[in-house]
Amino acid sequence: MSRTALVVDDSISMRQMVCHTLSRAGFQTIEAGNGAEGLKQLDGAGRSGKRVDLIITDLNMPVMDGIEFIRQVRSLDQARYTPVLMLTTESSGDKKMQGKAAGATGWIVKPFDPARLVEVIGRVLP
């Protein structure tokens, strides 16, 4: 059974690159354009009995940003312990601290190296 990843980013091209990388690593992917859509996708997956094993989210998005998205994800029983990686252009220590406080598992700065992304995923998923 393959693993499922939720990719949340307002950039369609970035979602496509991340999803392509994840597909090559054996993941099925679900996409969302912002945090609010990500929560809907997570809820829909749960209702259909599909488990989301990993979440990768951008920080700066319209409607709901990545920090608020992570806070809300961590309040859900089905995703409380799901690894969440921030994949963003932001690299400031303050933003990283906010992400960690919200519940982010890790932080990767864009542009990303596909091999590095897969390596980090291997560390956060059992």
Domain ranges of the chain: 3-124
Segment 91-115 shows an average pLDDT of: 91
Q: Does 3-124 carry CATH code 3.40.50.20?
A: no
- pTM for this entry: 0.94
Give me the phi and psi of 74, to 5 degrees please. -70, -15
- For the chain, the C-alpha Rg in angstroms (whole number) is 13
29-33, 44-48, 84-88: the lowest-pLDDT one: 44-48
The answer on pLDDT for 24 being more than 80 is yes
The answer on pLDDT for 44 being more than 90 is no
The answer on pLDDT for 20 being more than 80 is yes
Identify which of 119, 118, 96, 122 has the alpha carbon closest to the alpha carbon of residue 23.
Answer: 118
Segment 9-37 shows an average pLDDT of: 96
